[in-house]
Structure 1
Amino acid sequence: MEDIHALIQKLDWDTSEAEQAEAIHKLQDIQDEELRLLLQPLGKEYWDGAAEVIVKLGYPSVKPILPGLLEWIQDMNWPGAGRIAPLLREIGDPLIPYIQDVFRNHSQDEEWMYWIFEMIIDYWDKDQIVQIQEELIRLTEGKIIALKALRTLWVHQIYSGESVLLLLEDKMQRSLTEIAQLEIAYPGIDCEALGRGFSEAIFTPELSRAYIEEHREEFNFCHRKSTLHDFVSEIEELVSECMGSGNAPA
């Protein structure tokens, strides 16, 4: 096989279609110890081609790089992520230990966990969900990802609709209480006016930086309040879904 690095160089977006197709074909003879070189190589302009090679190799050929493939969907805007996600979804059970590791050790990365739910877990069957049940239950203690976990436990009949509704009511009350406490602690802040003021200064970097610094505390308040209101809206959506299904999954 041609030098592996030279072939990867031909995965560039600007490479001719014929050359890129030839490189993708030749890279399917890659050795296990070189597979890691396909994990988001060089710059983003090479990632679509690398993902195409990985998908063509398929499972179990890509088993040695499963953790790296899971990292690829940390951001679904990344080139190649849309090709990698369906492959991971189809792999199923062998991926479970790596997802458990993310849920246990990277729970602060909510965007990554969100995409794992959206791209993989939401497509799994109950047998697979039961295997990550412990992690899902632990995730229900948080906020945004907690709702994804609760919905999964409900849909697969691990939690009853009644139990989920009780947990959602508790989260709702806690969030509304936190909003009320924020408004007491920071009275009179007009978030819309704050936003308008920033919009007027945004095209002058010096002014915008000074405006943010001057109103940092108000910005923090408005961001926190907005985040809580969004969370309450998501709770209401899940409550509506549970109630609309007669407290049982569709």
Structure 2
Amino acid sequence: MNNVESNILNLSWHKPVDVQEKAIKELSNLKGNEVVFLAKKSNELCSKECWQNASVVLKQIGYPNNKAAFPYLMEWFQDLNHPGVANIIDLLSEIDKNELKPHIEQAILKAMEEKDEDWGLGLLTLINELKITKYFDGMLVQDLKTLANYDDRSTIEQ
């Protein structure tokens, strides 16, 4: 196991706080494909117990160094209760909306293909939180609302 993998495992909320903090500090220097590795491996190596701290690391890495992880960050919205979702929304709120659009669109298409209502709702929430509904084709947003059984009387930006 390499150093990055062992640090990802040390992001677990089951580890002592000092071990978690050291892993966050060391992983915050990742760049390029290593950032993708973090985004993917935090799920594969230790699942939800690492996600909160992984989201902290991804935010600390900052844009543009975390740009390669954007497609993987969309998976966080498969369930709004996933640890770290609020950090990911905050991270993405600082990114140019045109930069995010293709990644969000790809996630929408995949959520619709998989008929994943929860992911649809998560992506609608992301779009609303970022106030970017106008960046997307109206039919795509409507199809997403249909998938998520979303009631238009709610707070999604029109």
Q: TM-score range by the shorter chain?
A: 0.7 to 0.9
Q: CA RMSD in A?
A: 2.7
Contact 2:120 2:148 in 1 (8 A): no
**3-state SS, counterpart of residue 31 of structure 1:** coil
Do residues 95 (structure 1) and 83 (structure 2) align? Answer: no
Out of 68, 71, 76, the position equivalent to 2:80 is 76
Instruction: Quickly say closer, same or farther: Cα 1:93–1:6, change in 2 above 3 A.
Output: same
Distance 2:49 2:74 in 1: 19
Question: Deviation of residue 51 (structure 1)?
Answer: 1.5
Question: What does residue 109 of structure 2 align with?
Answer: 104
Gap regions ≥5 residues in structure 2: none
TM-score, normalising length: structure 2: 0.77
Do residues 136 (structure 1) and 146 (structure 2) align? Answer: no
Deviations 1:173-226 (A, max 9, x none): xxxxxxxxxxxxxxxxxxxxxxxxxxxxxxxxxxxxxxxxxxxxxxxxxxxxxx
Distance 2:148 2:87 in 1: 29
Gap regions ≥5 residues in structure 1: 157-250
Question: What does residue 208 of structure 1 align with?
Answer: none
The aligned length equals: 149
Out of 68, 71, 78, the position equivalent to 1:64 is 68
Instruction: Quickly say closer, same or farther: Cα 1:136–1:27, change in 2 above 3 A.
Output: same
Instruction: Quickly say closer, same or farther: Cα 1:141–1:111, change in 2 above 3 A.
Output: closer
Distance 1:138 1:71 in 2: 19
Question: Deviation of residue 151 (structure 1)?
Answer: 7.0
Q: Specify the code of the residue in structure 2 equivalent to 1:37.
A: F
Distance 1:88 1:72 in 2: 12
Deviations 1:139-196 (A, max 9, x none): 4666714x459975xx54xxxxxxxxxxxxxxxxxxxxxxxxxxxxxxxxxxxxxxxx
Instruction: Quickly say closer, same or farther: Cα 1:49–1:137, change in 2 above 3 A.
Output: closer
Instruction: Give the stretch that moved more between structures: 56-65 or 128-137.
Output: 128-137
TM-score, normalising length: structure 1: 0.51
Question: Deviation of residue 138 (structure 1)?
Answer: 4.5
Question: What does residue 117 of structure 1 align with?
Answer: 124
Distance 1:111 1:75 in 2: 6
Question: What does residue 187 of structure 1 align with?
Answer: none
Distance 1:101 1:9 in 2: 29
State the structure with bigger RCO (CA 8 A, min sep 6), 1 or 2.
2
- Higher CA-based Rg: 1
Distance 1:21 1:105 in 2: 35
Q: Specify the code of the residue in structure 1 equivalent to 2:129.
A: Y
**3-state SS, counterpart of residue 94 of structure 2:** helix
Q: Specify the code of the residue in structure 2 equivalent to 1:75.
A: D
Question: Deviation of residue 53 (structure 1)?
Answer: 0.6
